[in-house]
Amino acid sequence: MSAPIPVLATIAEACRLVFERRNDLLRVGLLFLLGTFALDILALNYVLPMLAAATTDATGAPVMDNRLPGSFLLVLITNFLLVSIFGVGWHRLILLGPGKAGGGLGVQLGGRELRYFIRLWICFIGMIMVAGFLSYVDAAIALRIGVSPYATLPIAYLGFIPIGAYAIGRLGPSFAAIAVDLPSEMSRSWQATMGNGRRLLALYLLAGFGWVAVPALLGALAGLLGLGEIAPYALLFISAFVSTALLAVLVTINALVFRRLVGAPGSA
């Protein structure tokens, strides 16, 4: 059984490290920040108008711009690539030191980043399959008790959240292992986190709550100030910066969990 993970102490330590490394965050996270900002502009001016124009025909079948699915896929692929580049760099910075995060802006695209990218897709597809299964169960239960599946869909969604948080907690160390060139099989990660499942679930549920709460507070404040209408691109940039900081905290949490369960890696 692995050593117990201190939930609140890990979150506090991650926030402290990100604040202390804020200059490195502006360096290693610059590509992610600018890339996210560009994707948000693309979504605002191109994807969202197509989505708003989507409708249904007389049979209830969706009618949408043929470019919409491809646009979603392009945004998702680009986002995952940005996350991979930043995730590898920031893992290495926390676990190995700033000198191992890459020179200059810390932007690298090699085997580590591509393995990280592929692992993201594997986990994403797995989560889609779980969500599909929960939706199927939800629909079957709703039909059996004689209500609309949409009425019970929130229950299925609430069931998906802890499953996703648990999976992230148990598989997260494999991403850190990819970043520092250690064996990164998912089975190793699952074994290393054995005995810490509930603690990791609580850890990532709290982290996820922060991920939702901070942007929600930012959005509420922006709404009160009217920033969305006065300066929409400034608001998008602020949002991208907040996303970069939150991702840094999440990756740092994962790095700290990896260090506690696996040990400090040597120079890679």
CA distance 10 to 39: 31
CA distance 105 to 25: 10
pLDDT in tens, 19-71: 999 999 988 999 999 999 999 999 888 888 888 877 776 666 677 778 888 88
Q: What is the predicted pLDDT for the residue at 268? A: 41
Q: How many C-beta atoms lie closer than 10 Å to residue 59's C-beta?
A: 5
pLDDT in tens, 91-100: 999 999 887 7
SS3 108: coil
Residue 92 structure tokens = 């290495």
Task: Of 243, 159, 164, 255, give the one whose Cα is nearest residue 205.
Answer: 164
Residue corresponding to tokens 């393995």 = 115
Residue 56 phi, psi (nearest 5): -130, 155
pTM above 0.95, yes or no: no
Q: What is the predicted pLDDT for the residue at 103? A: 61
